[in-house]
Chain A
């Protein structure tokens, strides 16, 4: 059942076994797992069914005192959460991401990859993958695009898998996929426009006794549940714990001042331009490709654990991106095809046909590959490019001074807004620069191409803040640790010092790893759902 709190003008009191706060990837996944069980679930979502700026999204406004963080654009506040603009790029974290790495202070998870493995497999199903998840080696073998042999001591190929498209969406959407299931589940009650207002505590202050939620038109609901799970994303989870810790003069995982600290985002930077004698060959190797199951995969490179340890690097990967050559015959063919599909002749048709004729061999080659293998370059990346952009993606190092705090100003519900102080620096620049140099050297060695590196790669005087931009994956603010002095939640994602309050989402990651976080968020949510059921 899905209801709008604004319609309950007399207020509402709900009894539940599990109260889930936030309907994004984590909240919907836990609700989906508990649907059809004997557990009574109440899922509260601050937004509505659609994007509404004034009614909901504006509550995400805040201030930055460090490196700017897109507090509004980086997250979405309606049913489905930030998955509503998810790009579908998926990978598992590697073994090394979970390990304590002596050269990275505060690294190490209390669980290892093996612990998450069965949940990763199921997370793929939840994220829309119908076929079995193939290993990188298996996927590469099926791609029919043999890669050059890179120095295995430095780099290895890495595959990102893209979730399937859905009707009306370019990729998998949790709201579309599971909205109906949750609406029809007799044991799940979903309240929209139900914004977090406050927790009330048991007398001994070890349990949440109830949650009050409020709509912006003043309707309140009280939910009494056995367990509560914060599933509001990497910034909001910390903000809500900070609000409650302040209101209750402590507790809520913040007795050691850990909530909101270690705030991280993945970093991405353009590291160089690769000139190749065979650009089309390069595009067939390192690119977005049509994978063996018909879904897109992206082939890139990643550091080996050995070089990470030897050179004390962060985890980092690299991909190539291509600017389509608008003068190519294939670009002309695309233009003509696109115009004809809209019922028009394209402008300059004579010129375009001329370009196709000039580049007929190139066009024929692409068509031949498409007909022969059905595994072509995906989407617009089929258009030839004269050069490739070398892009690096990396994890930041956990830094307790990089943090989410409370601002002094308040939102429409009277709650203090968020203030971020996001930091990264020379260490991240060094890793990114090293990876760029390694890729450039290997590409030169095997004769793929020559790389002109960006100034920041070679010049320490260029600020890493200008070179490496944040990818809006908000991570680490309620980190997982067996030691309450080092983290906010334990290995089961329960808030230290609280018996029935849990956190789901990327805020519990102690380190970001190099992979996009969604599959790990979902895997941890599945694991938490099992814990709650038991």
Chain B
């Protein structure tokens, strides 16, 4: 998995949806209707596929991120890092985390792509959720 390169077309589809509106859509749409707003994994399984145009590419990025950051290879840890300690819905907390990352230059380079750290962690969580489901 990690040896595979994420190509530009895949990433463009995935990230443009990711950064340019998917979370925002989620904040105002289905994101509110998740089965358990406290569980990021459930929320991701429930609605991510509707919002992110190319989940495969994002999962692949997540796998690559975890190779560089093996200490974060934990669904619980990633969930806590992503939405722990905040108020509001999961999507709004994720949006805030991403915005904070950009403002504070808290970024990660994954397979060449510059991501907000929270985006990279979300990709990693997507990868882990998929692994569990499989």
Contacts and interface: CB of A to CB of B under 8 A. Distances in A.
A98 B113 CA distance: 36
Nearest to B119: A444
A455 interface: yes
B20 A277 contact: yes
Contact of A451 (B20, B102, B114, B116): B114
Contacts of A452: 8, 11, 111-114
A387 interface: yes
Contacts of B113: 450-453
Given A151-B103, A273-B8, A437-B107, A447 B114 contact: no
A441 B102 contact: yes
Interface string A264-291: 0000000011010100000000000000
A445 B11 contact: no
A525 B26 CA distance: 62
Contact of B12 (A275, A453, A457): A275
B117 to A, nearest CB: 11
B36 interface: no
Given A438-B105, A453-B114, A447 B20 contact: yes
Contacts, number: 59
Nearest to A452: B112
A458 interface: yes
B8 A441 contact: no
Nearest to B104: A441
Nearest to B7: A452
A277 B16 contact: yes
A277 B107 CA distance: 21
Interface string A146-175: 000001000000000000000000000000
Interface in B96-134: 99, 102-103, 105, 107, 109, 111-116
A444 B109 contact: no
B102 A450 contact: no
Interface string B9-31: 00110011001100000000000
A440 interface: yes
Given A441-B114, A450-B114, A387 B8 contact: yes
Contacts of B12: 275, 450
Contacts of A449: 16
A437 B20 CA distance: 19
A451 B8 CA distance: 10
Given A275-B8, A275-B12, A453 B112 contact: yes
A450 to B, nearest CB: 4
A447 B19 contact: yes
Contacts of B112: 272, 452-455, 458
A445 B117 CA distance: 12
A447 B23 CA distance: 13
B116 A275 contact: no
A232 to B, nearest CB: 44
Interface in A243-281: 272-273, 275, 277
B56 to A, nearest CB: 17
Interface string A120-151: 00000000000000000000000000000001
Contacts of B109: 437, 453, 457-458
Nearest to B107: A441
A450 B102 CA distance: 13
Contacts of B102: 441-442, 444-445
Contacts of A277: 16, 20
B40 to A, nearest CB: 22
Contacts of A437: 105, 107, 109, 114
A523 B62 CA distance: 54
A444 B116 contact: yes
Given A275-B8, A277-B20, A450-B19, A445 B99 contact: yes
Interface string A356-378: 00000000000000000000000
Given A440-B114, A453-B112, A445 B103 contact: yes
Given A275-B8, A275-B11, A444 B114 contact: yes
A453 B107 CA distance: 13
Contacts of A457: 109
16 contacts: A275-B12, A275-B15, A437-B107, A440-B114, A441-B114, A441-B116, A444-B116, A445-B99, A445-B102, A447-B20, A450-B12, A450-B15, A450-B19, A453-B109, A453-B112, A455-B112
Interface of A: 151, 272-273, 275, 277, 387, 437-438, 440-442, 444-445, 447, 449-455, 457-458
Please list the 5 inter-chain residue pairs (A to B) with the smallest Cβ-Cβ separation, ordered nearest first.
Answer: A445-B102, A275-B12, A440-B114, A452-B112, A450-B15
Given A441-B102, A444-B114, A453-B109, 6 more contacts: A444-B116, A450-B113, A450-B114, A451-B113, A451-B114, A452-B11
